[in-house]
Amino acid sequence: MKEEEYMRVGTTLYKVVNQPCANGGYEKKRVVWNNSTLRQDYGKNYLATVPKYDGFCTVPNHLNYQKEIEGFLNLYEPIEHKPQQGDFSHIQSLMRHIFGEQYELGMDYMQLLYLQPTQKLPIVLLVSEERNTGKSTFLNFLKAVFENNVTFNTNEDFRSQFNSDWAGKLLIVVDEV
Output the average pLDDT for the chain. Answer: 88
Higher pLDDT, 13 or 122: 13
3-class secondary structure, 60: coil
In whole angstroms, give the CA distance from residue 155 to residue 168: 20
In this predicted structure, the answer to whether residue 1 has a pLDDT above a threshold of 50 is no
Number of Cβ within 10 Å of residue 32's Cβ equals 8
Residue 33 CA: distances (Å) to CA of 19, 26, 57, 72: 15, 20, 20, 19
Signed CA dihedral, 72, 67, 174, 23: sign only: negative
The structure's pTM equals 0.83
- DSSP-assigned beta bridge partners for residue 14: 7, 32
- The string of pLDDT tens digits covering residues 140-163 is 999 999 999 998 876 666 666 666
Could you tell me which residues come within 8 angstroms of residue 104 by beta carbon, excluding any fewer than 6 positions away? none
Question: Which of 22, 15, 20, 83 shows the shortest CA–CA distance to 50?
Answer: 15
> What pLDDT score was predicted for residue 163?
66
> What pLDDT score was predicted for residue 7?
95
- The string of pLDDT tens digits covering residues 87-144 is 999 999 999 999 999 999 999 999 999 999 999 998 888 777 777 778 889 999 999 9
